[in-house]
């Protein structure tokens, strides 16, 4: 991945930080748009001097198409390329159909789907001109097959899988691959807090998920597109 330019949306979250570190380990230059200053500081604290020199972080509302377009334009102007986009922004909400307010539906769709759509739309012109690109979306193992009890989350993450599969067909002739990674329950601070009595022996580490994401963003994955990879 040396000299590759990678955008990781959600790169300051628990999974996102592991993805950032995985791409840095592969030699990439990583650009991280963020919205939570405390998370940005936490990622910064994990970087050594050599890693920090290859990371660029800037505030950006990832659901705002104009803001994302401007952000991507700045990266293109500076580096003259965008090779990989990882859409790792996301959120979770419980609740069945009757109890989930419309506002919560909209929030789940914005966090989990709209941010991915906006990100893809912003980078595709550059990738198409280069005739090379990798897009990796983060969905969820919990929505295959679709589950009840957290229905807004289920529908929004299932839509990410559909977006991945349809977009892969649209751009495959341009040398661009689009894949989704579907983690099962991850061992994160938020999940430990939400499920303090759960058996964590079957939980997956964020590092394991990040390694799969990094592979799908590499040249080695040139023959993989439209896949929904469970971890």
Tokens 């009840």 -> residue:
148
Q: How many degrees, rounded to 5, is the angle at CA 216 between CA 89 and CA 124?
A: 65
- For residues 86 and 134, give the distance between their C-alpha atoms in angstroms, rounded to a whole number: 8
Residue 104 main-chain phi, psi, to 5 deg:
-70, -35
Q: Which residues contact 171 (CB under 8 A, 6 or more apart)?
A: 124, 127, 128, 133, 178
Which helix H or strand E contains 6, and what residues bound it?
strand 5-9
> How many residues are given for the chain?
231
Which of these is catalytic: 8, 153, 159, 182? Answer: 153
Concerning whether 71 is annotated as a catalytic residue, the answer is no
- For residues 79 and 70, give the distance between their C-alpha atoms in angstroms, rounded to a whole number: 14
Tokens 């791409």 -> residue:
23
Half-sphere exposure of 161 (CA within 13 A, CB side): 20
- For residues 85 and 77, give the distance between their C-alpha atoms in angstroms, rounded to a whole number: 17
- For residues 229 and 138, give the distance between their C-alpha atoms in angstroms, rounded to a whole number: 10
Catalytically active residues are 153
């Amino acid at each position: 991945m040396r000299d590759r330019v990678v955008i990781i949306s959600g790169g300051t979250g628990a999974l996102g930080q592991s993805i950032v570190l995985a791409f840095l380990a592969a030699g990439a230059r990583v650009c991280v748009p963020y919205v939570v200053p405390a998370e940005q500081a936490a990622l910064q604290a994990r970087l050594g001097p050599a890693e920090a020199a290859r990371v660029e972080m800037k505030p950006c509302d990832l659901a705002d198409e104009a803001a994302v377009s401007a952000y991507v334009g700045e990266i293109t102007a500076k580096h003259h390329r965008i090779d990989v986009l990882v859409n790792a922004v996301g959120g979770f909400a419980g609740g069945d159909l009757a109890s989930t307010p419309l506002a919560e539906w909209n929030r789940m769709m914005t966090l989990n789907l709209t941010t991915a759509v906006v990100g893809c739309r912003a980078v595709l012109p550059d990738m198409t001109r280069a005739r090379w690109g990798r897009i990796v979306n983060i969905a969820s193992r919990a929505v295959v097959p679709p589950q009840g009890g957290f229905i807004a989350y289920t529908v929004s993450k299932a839509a990410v899988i559909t977006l991945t599969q349809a977009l892969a067909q649209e751009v495959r002739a341009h040398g661009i691959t689009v894949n989704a990674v579907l983690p099962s329950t991850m061992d994160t601070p938020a999940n430990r807090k939400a499920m303090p009595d759960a058996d964590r022996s079957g939980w997956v580490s964020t590092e394991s998920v990040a390694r799969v994401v990094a592979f799908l963003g590499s040249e080695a994955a040139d023959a993989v597109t439209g896949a929904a990879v469970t971890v």
